[in-house]
Amino acid sequence: MKVRLQNGLYAGPIDNNKSKTVMASIGVKPTDKIWLNFIGFTGRESDSLRILQGVSMLGGWNVTDKFQVGTELDYFVFDISHKDHGVWSSGGWFSYAFTPKVGAAIRAEYLSDTDGVDASNDPLGFKPNSGQDISSVAFTFNLKPLPQVKIQPEIRYDHSSLSDAFGSKKDRVVVGAGVSYLF
């Protein structure tokens, strides 16, 4: 079990307030191949938001030494002007290690923000809106050229229920990469 206090839920470069968020996490590993993590949080996130709270469940199964599956389920409640707005999301992924240095993964996600309180007028670039559903599918390579270096080039397809969610379009393709140093 872990409990922590941090500078808002979205700590880091997009945190724009002096409020604190309390987070708690319980990890469960019923077998050597299955893991679960339950997370809860509550705190203020901005001047217009009284309280943001929610729960998440992440889980995974190492089917074999090379093949893994996982899921994430989230439910957030945004309390704005004493009115609750729920946002939920779900996702799943499959990954396969072809060799110790080369692997691939596919991930699918869905987010339902019916009131436009999460994916609206935010630092990620969504325009102000009264609600949308967003789905995405991503394909990622996992490359480990050195034991402590992980490189992850990715291509992702996003779709929104709004006709102009991504500029003037409801669909977009994003190409990117991440590089991690593993301690």
Task: Give the closest residue to 20 by CA, choosing from 11, 12, 28, 29.
Answer: 11
Confidence of residue 129 (pLDDT cuts 50, 70, 90): confident
Query: Model-level pTM?
Result: 0.83
Q: By the 8 A CB rule, do 172 and 160 touch?
A: no
The percentage of residues in the chain with a pLDDT greater than 90, rounded to a whole number, is 64
Alpha-carbon separation of residue 76 from 39, 42, 138, 178 (angstroms): 11, 10, 23, 27
Q: What is the pLDDT of residues 134-143, one digit of tens each?
A: 999 999 999 9
Q: Answer whether residue 10 shows pLDDT above 70.
A: no
- Alpha-carbon torsion angle 60, 85, 42, 89, nearest 10: 10
* CA–CA–CA angle 143, 96, 110 (5° rounding): 95
What domains sit in the chain, N to C, each tagged with a CATH number?
2-181 (2.40.160.40)
Helix count and strand count (H, E) for the chain: 0, 10
Three-class SS of residue 30? coil
Task: Give 166's DSSP letter.
Answer: B
Q: Answer whether residue 127 shows pLDDT above 90.
A: no
pLDDT at residue 164, as a whole number: 87
